[in-house]
Amino acid sequence: MTHTDIVQLEERFQIRTYRKKPIAVVRGEGCWIWDAADKRYLDLYGGHCVTLLGHNHPGVTAALKAQLDQLTFYSNAVYSPVRARAAEALASLAPVGMRNVFFCSTGTEANETALKLARKTTGRTEMLAMEGGFHGRTIGSLSVTHGKYREPYKDVMGPTTFVPFGDARPALSALRKGAYAGLIIEPIQSMAGMAESTAGYFRLLREACNDAGTALIFDEIQTGVGRTGTFSISERYGVLPDLITMAKSLGNGVPVGAVLVSDAIAGTVRYGDQGTTFGGGMLAMAAVEATLAAIRDDDIMEKARRIEVTIRHRLGPKIKEIRGGGCLLGLDLGFPVAPVVSALLQDGIIVAGSNHPNVIRVMPPAITPLDEIENFTDILESCMREAPGVA
Ligand SMILES: Cc1ncc(COP(=O)(O)O)c(C=O)c1O
C-alpha cells in the first residue's frame, strides 16, 4: 500500500480522534522505524513512551511466537504457568512491601483499579489530585485528570480536589481534612511538559497521607518499568507509595497494565473486588515475562541513565532546561517547539510535543546507541537555529 492509500483508508474508516504525524509506519527494529516509502526514522518517541527495549525486541518476539504455538488466551478463571512467571518477575522488581500484582490491559485500567482499591480500603470517596496531571481517558481516571480532558464530562466525575503540583503546602492542608481516599500523582508529569519535584516534596506527601489515612498512588504508567533508571521512580525518591500503576513499557508494545499493591492493601482484597477478562492473558504475560527479563539482564536501567547523561551533557548548556530522568526527558527550549518537532521529522527523527508549548519530549528506547543520541542533539541544534522566530 502507498502512503496515500493508507492515509485515505484510515481517514475514511476511523473516527477522527487523533491528530496524526504525517507518516505511515510499516516496520521497526531497535530504535528505528521505516515508513511506507522505506524512509528510516530514529524513533525517540516509542509510540508514546512504550518501546523501552526498542521495536521488535528479539527476546519479546521469540516469547510471543512460542506462546502463540502454545495458547493465545485464557482468562483469570484458571491458573497459567506464563502468568505465574510474569507475576513473580514483576513482583521481584517491585519495591519491597509492594510485591502484590494485579494485571490489566491499559494504563487507565490500572489507574481505575488503584482508585477503586483506595476507595475500598478507606471507605471514602473523594480523591486528591494534581493540577497538570494526566491519568487516562476512562471516567474514573478522567475524574482525577486535570484540565481540558475532563471538562466535557464534569457531570459524571467522581469528587476530586486539585492542588498545584510540586508545592507541598496546599496538598498538606487539603489532606488535613482527613476526607480523601487517595492522593494520585504522576511523579513526573509528562503531558504537562515533564514537570518534576524533589524527594523532599514526595516525602512530605507520604507523611501527610499516613497521618490522614489516605492511600498514596503513584501513577508510573510512564515513569515505571525502569524507564527513568530505577524500576519504580519511588526508589529514587526514597518513598514507598501504597499503590503503583504501570503500563506503557511493561509489554514493550503488547497492551498490558499492572497495579503493584502494598502488603497492607493486598491483605484487604476479597474475591470479586476487581476483575477483567483480558488482563493476565497469555500473550500479554509472555510479553511481560520477556520484557522484564531483558530489563533485568541487559542493563536497561543503566542504559537509560547513560542516555540521560549524554543528552544533559550535550544539550544542558544550550537550552533553557532539561527535566525528567533516564529515557523520559522534557527539553524546554524556551520558545514554541512545534516547528522544531516538524523539522526533526523531516530530518528522520521522531519526538513528541506536550501540553507545554515549549517542551519537546524525548522517550527513546534505552537500547538507542549513544552515537545516535549525539547525532540527534546535533540535528536538534541545527533545527533550533532554523526555527522561525529564533535569533
Ligand atoms: C501518566 C499516564 N497515566 C495514564 C495513562 C493512560 O494510559 P492508557 O492510554 O494506556 O490508558 C497515560 C497515557 O498516556 C499516562 O501518560
Residue 47 CA to ligand 1 center (angstroms) comes to 12
pLDDT at 341: 97
Closest ligand 1 atom, residue 138 Cα: 11
Measured from the CA of 109, which atom of ligand 1 is nearest? 11
Answer yes or no: is the C-beta of 186 below 6 A from any ligand 1 atom. yes
Look up cell 533508571; give the residue.
Answer: 229
- Contact indicator for 213, 251 with CB cutoff of 8 Å: no
pLDDT tens across the length of the chain (391 residues): 999 999 999 999 999 999 999 999 999 999 999 999 999 999 999 999 999 999 999 999 999 999 999 999 999 999 999 999 999 999 999 999 999 999 999 999 999 999 999 999 999 999 999 999 999 999 999 999 999 999 899 888 889 999 999 999 999 999 999 999 999 999 999 999 999 999 999 999 999 999 999 999 999 999 999 999 999 999 999 999 999 999 999 999 999 999 999 999 999 999 999 999 999 999 999 999 999 999 999 999 999 999 999 999 999 999 999 999 999 999 999 999 999 999 999 999 999 999 999 999 999 999 999 999 999 999 999 999 987 656 4
The whole-angstrom separation of Cα 183 and Cα 66 is 41
Element of type H or E holding 103: strand 100-104
Give the model's pLDDT for residue 158: 84
Long-range contacts of 385-391, Cβ-Cβ distance < 8 Å, separation of 24 or more: 386/343, 387/335, 387/339, 387/340, 387/343, 388/339, 389/335, 389/336, 390/335
Residue from 109, 134, 256 whose mutation best tests the ligand 1 pocket (most atoms within 8 A of CB):
134
How high is the pLDDT of residue 389? 58
Q: Which atom of ligand 1 is nearest to the CA of 223?
A: 1
* Ligand 1 pocket, residue 221 CB under 6 Å: yes
For ligand 1, atom 14, which residue shows the shortest CA distance?
136
- Ligand 1, residue 141: give the atom nearest the CA: 4
For a ligand 1 pocket test, name from 222, 254, 355, 363 the mutation site with the most ligand atoms within 8 angstroms of its C-beta. 222
Instruction: Give dist(CA 360, CA 338) in Å, integer.
Output: 9
Q: Do residues 59 and 261 make contact, with C-beta atoms less than 8 angstroms apart? A: no
Question: May I ask the CATH architecture of the domain 58-297?
Answer: 3-Layer(aba) Sandwich (3.40)
CATH no., domain 3-57+299-386: 3.90.1150.10
Q: Is 55 in the pocket of ligand 1 (CB under 6 A)?
A: no
CA of 137 to the centre of ligand 1 (A): 8
Count, residues in the chain: 391
List the one residue out of 117, 35, 109, 82 whose CA is nearest residue 348: 35
Residue ranges of alpha helices (H) inside the chain are 3-13, 46-49, 58-70, 81-93, 107-122, 139-143, 168-175, 199-212, 233-237, 263-266, 282-297, 300-315, 338-346, 370-386
Residue nearest to atom 8 of ligand 1 (CA): 107
Query: What is the value of pTM for the model shown?
Result: 0.97
In a 3-state reduction of DSSP, which class is residue 58? helix
CA of 196 to the centre of ligand 1 (A): 17
Region of 269 (left: φ > 0; alpha: ψ -120 to 50; beta: rest) is beta
- Could you give the angle at which helices 370-386 and 300-315 cross, rounded to 10 degrees? 30
Listing DSSP states for 170-221 in one string gives HHHHHHTT--EEEEEE-SSBTTTTSB---HHHHHHHHHHHHHHT-EEEEE-T
Identify the pLDDT of residue 386.
87
Please, what is the Cα angle at 41 between 35 and 46, to 5 degrees? Answer: 95
Ligand 1 in reach of 140 Cβ (< 6 A): no
pLDDT in the model for residue 267 = 97
- Eight-class DSSP state of 152: G
Chain-centre distance for alpha carbon 391: 35
Please give the DSSP secondary-structure letter assigned to residue 90: H
Task: Verify whether ligand 1 is closer than 6 Å to residue 222 (CB atom).
Answer: yes
Domain boundaries, the chain: 3-57+299-386, 58-297
User: Can you give the pLDDT at residue 192?
Assistant: 98
- Name which residue sits closest to atom 4 of ligand 1, judged by CA: 135
